[in-house]
Amino acid sequence: MDECKATSTPIEPGLTLEADKSTKDKELPYKNLIGTLMYLAVATRPDIMFAVSYLSQFNDSYSAEHFKSAKRVLRYLKGTSSIGLNFKRTEQELYGMADADWGACKLDRKSFSGYCFIYAGGCISWSSRKQKSVALSTAEAEYCACTEAAKEAIHLKLLFNDLGIHIDCVKISNDNQAALKLSQNPIVSSKSKHIDLKMHYIRNCIQNKQIRLEYLETKKMAADLLTKGLSGPRLKELMIHFGLA
C-alpha cells in the first residue's frame, strides 16, 4: 500500500457490511491489519477509531470485501500521514463530549457510543464501541453513552488530582435533551425502568457534583466523529476540536 491512492475519509459514510462465515478468504491478513490499526487508533489517531472499531467486529467473519474496507483506512492514512495530536497552553479546563448513533449496526440493531476528553487544546482520551444491549430509543442510547463518559471522567479526575492538577467537576457535553433530563431525574418511568442499574451511575456523579452534564447542539458535537462514518468536510471540521492537525 506504499503507493496507494489516498482517500479523504477512513470509512465510507453509511457503509454496511455483512458477516461472512465462509472460509474462502481466510488467508487474507485481515486480523493482523485490524490489530495494527487498532494500536494506532488507540494511541494517537482518534479520527480512525470508529472505522477500526466497526471493522474489528468481523475478525472471525471477514471476506475480501471487509479487507478492502480495512485497506481504505490505510489509504486514508496515506493522505494524512503528517497529521497528529497537537497540544498547547490554554485556560480551558478538562471537558468531555459524549454521543451515540442509535441502532447504527444493521446486524443486531445495537447503537454505537463515542466519547472524547479535551485538555490543553488536544484530545487525551477517546472511545468508540458498540453498546452491549439494544437501546429502545435515541435517549436511551445517548444516556448509556453519557454514563460511559462519566466513568472515564471520574478516572481522569483522579489521575489529574494525583498529578497535582485539582479538578472539582468535569463538564460533559451531550446533544440530546431527553438524555440530559433522564440523567438529572431519579424518577423511574415506563421509558427508563428497563435500563440496567449500572447505567444510572451518572446520576450519582451529578448529585455528588463530580461531573456536570450540559447540552451542546449537534453541529458542534465533536464526538460524532466516533460514532459513524462522516463525509470529508465534516470529518475535517470535527478533527479541529480534537487537536488533530
Query: Which backbone phi and psi does 60 adopt, to 5 degrees?
Result: -110, 10
3-state secondary structure of 211: strand
Mean pLDDT of the chain: 92
Other CB atoms within 10 A of residue 207 CB: 10
Instruction: Go through the chain and tell me how many residues it has.
Output: 245
pLDDT at 204: 86
The number of CA neighbours under 13 Å toward the Cβ of 62 is 24
Q: For residue range 4-62, list pLDDT tens digits in order.
A: 999 999 999 999 999 998 888 889 999 999 999 999 999 999 999 999 999 999 999 99
Structural domain boundaries of the chain?
1-82, 95-242
Beta-carbon contacts of 104 under 8 Å, excluding residues fewer than 6 positions away, are 110, 111, 112, 227, 228
Distance between CA atoms of 138 and 244, rounded to whole angstroms? 29
* CB burial readout 71-106, b (16+ within 10 A) else e: ebbbbbbeebeeeebeeeeeeeebbbbbbbbbbbbe
Distance between CA atoms of 43 and 124, rounded to whole angstroms? 10
Which pTM does this prediction carry? 0.92
95-242 CATH fold: Nucleotidyltransferase; domain 5 (3.30.420)
- pLDDT band for 193, please (50, 70, 90 cuts): low
3-state secondary structure of 117: strand
What is the amino acid identity at position 172? Answer: I
The single-letter DSSP state of residue 244 is: B
Pairing of strands 122-130, 170-174: unpaired
pLDDT at 141: 93
Q: Do the beta carbons of residue 123 and residue 242 sit within 8 Å?
A: yes
